[in-house]
């Protein structure tokens, strides 16, 4: 067991309403090794871009299929930050993606069940191809969880792995791949 930080799950207590205040996000992020996570994992393609990279508040727009969101995140403190997410029309989101700074992130997100929990595994494409990370949202910073065997190095505190950073400085640019 590892000690982990926690936050409200993005779906806890929320409906499919277009406006969802997320509150505090507490998550751990790890590099993924091997392909043991893939068995039975279903993915969905995401495109997301950033309207603001200000470290005090990042503003992201995300599109997946026929759904889209505007997301505002506060400054990261350890593995905790404020997060608010609002559903928006897909057509608006597509237009907002054209206004984004940096590159639009293209990735496939998989929900992987392990030991009674749902991990989000992101497999990146384009300039971030080769990067696969797993995230687990927690209710508090000291919450325990079991590490799946496919977890590698923890990168929760490494800002290079923040999606906003990958939009400005893609993985391939700093790994030489």
- Active site (catalytic) residues: 50
Which residues make Cβ contacts (< 8 Å) with residue 31, sequence separation at least 6?
132, 133, 134, 151, 152, 153, 155
Contacts of the segment 88-91: beta carbons below 8 A, 24+ positions apart: 88/18, 88/61, 90/63, 90/66
Under DSSP, the state recorded for 77 is B
Residue in the block written with tokens 């993915």 = 43
Name the nearest CA neighbour of 172 among 123, 133, 127, 105: 127
Neighbours of 62 (CB within 10 A): 21
């Amino acid at each position: 067991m590892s000690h982990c930080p926690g936050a409200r799950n993005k779906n806890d207590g929320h409906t499919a309403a277009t406006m969802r205040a997320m509150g505090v996000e507490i998550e751990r992020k790890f590099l993924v090794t091997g392909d043991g996570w893939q068995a039975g994992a279903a993915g969905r393609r995401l495109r997301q871009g950033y309207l603001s990279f200000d470290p005090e508040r990042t503003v992201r727009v995300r599109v997946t299929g026929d759904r889209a969101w505007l997301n505002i995140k506060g400054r990261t403190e350890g593995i905790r930050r404020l997060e608010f997410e609002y559903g928006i029309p897909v057509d608006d989101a597509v237009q907002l993606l054209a206004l984004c700074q940096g590159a639009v992130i293209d990735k496939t997100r998989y929900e992987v069940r392990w030991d009674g929990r749902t991990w989000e595994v992101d497999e990146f494409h384009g300039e971030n191809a080769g990067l696969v990370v797993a995230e687990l949202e927690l209710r508090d910073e000291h919450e325990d969880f079991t590490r799946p065997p496919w977890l590698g190095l923890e990168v929760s505190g490494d800002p290079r792995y923040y999606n906003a950073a990958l939009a400005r400085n893609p993985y391939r640019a700093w790994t030489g791949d």
